[in-house]
Amino acid sequence: MLPAVAADQHSSSPLVLELRLEGVVDPILATYIDEGLADAANRHAALVLITMDTPGGLSVSMEDIIQHILASPVPVAVYVSPTGGRGASAGFYILLSADIAAMAPGTHTGSATPVMAIGGFLPMQIDDAFRKKINADATAFLRSFTERRGRNPAVAEKAITEGSAFTEKEALEAKMIDLIVSSPDELVRQLDGRAITRFDGAQVKLLLKSAALTPFELSTRQKFLARIVQPDVFFVLLILGVLGVYTEFTHPGAIAPGVIGGICLILALYAMNFLPINLAGVFLILLALAFFILEAKAPSHGVLALGGVVSMFLGAIFLIRSPLTPGGVSVGVALAGTVPFAILAVVLMRLVLRSRRWKTATGKEELIGSHGVAIAQMAAGAEGMVRVHGELWKAESSKPVQEGETVRILRVEGLKLYVEPAEVAISAAK
């Protein structure tokens, strides 16, 4: 008699834990799948069902998922769904590594030739000898589990060596998958009572009658990380980050733009680890920034600014391009990010240049006797900040100064102003 895999002693019905592998296979999804398999083992689930719709992804993440599937104490079914979905490239390997491989009508799989990209845009050109080594490694990896799973390695290898793709019917006829079903519920019903051979050779029988199909959701952290690696979100974070840091450098002391910009820039840099960044797009964005700065320094009647807008827009469009992310940054987001950035960059740089010209024209002597406004409360003898002619200066007052109070400049030492409340100065004059 075969051992049965069913409900644990604390459950009234078998538990089928459903995981969703959607989008590009990356470390975030790999961690999610690993955690789901561990949770299924802890809860003594009868089956883990991974519904998959992916164009492929990173090989290191794919290998991590497959290793955990092969080692899972709970049987794993991978189901390519919905209709129109695919389990391509990395998804093909994951599909064939499962205890049960199934596909929905109108889906396809295959196209598993390893692709090396440079700049995130075009496949990297490599010599035949190196390509043969890469393909040989990939086919050996595929054979290492397809043979143990009782699948057809000879046909499966064509997805690597020839880039072949298969419809669900072709995959079933070639004995690469086990079932074609129209829904997860139907898959569970058909698997009830089915005898399977685990990767370690153990024979088990699935008892899934009245099974409870329970979703395993991404954690809040994983949802957040998955969101920021979307091309549109990444571009917005990049623009906000550059603009915030740029604002802080041109107008030191504002603090908030620098903090917000720094956070956005760090998040954008994190997202770059998971996105196929095109170097041409990066250089176009840097060129746009240079155009905006030059427009502010030497106005060209808008020619440089227009060039900057065009350059940044094209940079956004080309920034993320690969077979795995065919959409890249959308045109609407590219325009929405480019135009405000261009306006703010030019305005900020002109303000900086205007203030520098004002400093040169007036000199420190001209500051003495002029007035400013305290931007925060200052105790007597303590250092604070005042705004004078639109600029922030370090200042010290011999008397207490309230936030927003007008002060008079008594003297200038280096980059520090010595001030007093304007009312004190008026009283002394009387």
What does each of the 430 residues of the chain score in pLDDT, given as a tens digit? 455 555 444 456 899 999 999 988 988 999 999 999 999 999 999 999 999 999 988 888 999 999 999 999 999 999 999 999 999 999 999 999 999 999 999 999 999 988 755 444 444 555 677 778 888 999 999 999 999 999 999 999 999 999 999 999 999 999 999 999 999 999 999 999 999 999 999 999 999 998 989 999 998 888 898 888 888 888 889 888 888 887 777 667 778 888 998 999 899 888 887 777 888 888 888 888 787 777 666 666 667 777 888 888 888 888 876 555 555 787 788 877 777 777 776 676 666 656 655 555 455 666 788 889 999 899 988 899 999 877 888 899 988 999 999 999 998 888 889 999 987 655 554 4
Instruction: Supply φ then ψ for residue 123, to 5 degrees.
Output: -60, 140
Distances (CA, A) of 303 to 260, 288, 295, 314, 339: 31, 12, 8, 17, 15
How many angstroms separate the CA atoms of 7 and 46, rounded?
6
Query: What pLDDT, on a 0 to 100 scale, did the predictor assign at position 363?
Result: 56
Q: Which domains, from first to last, does the chain contain? A: 4-220 (3.90.226.10), 229-364 (no CATH), 368-429 (2.40.50.140)
User: pTM above the 0.75 mark?
Assistant: no
What would the two tokens of residue 50 be?
A: 């991974």
Query: What pLDDT, on a 0 to 100 scale, did the predictor assign at position 323?
Result: 55
Q: Tell me, what amino acid is at 207?
A: L
- For 100, the enclosing helix (H) or strand (E) is strand 100-103
How many angstroms separate the CA atoms of 321 and 319, rounded?
7
Q: Tell me, what amino acid is at 312?
A: M
Where does residue 401 rank: exposed (0-12), middle (13-18), buried (19+ CB within 10 A)?
A: buried
Per the DSSP assignment, residues forming a β-bridge with 368 are none
Q: Which residue, 390, 407, 389, is CA-closest to 398?
A: 407
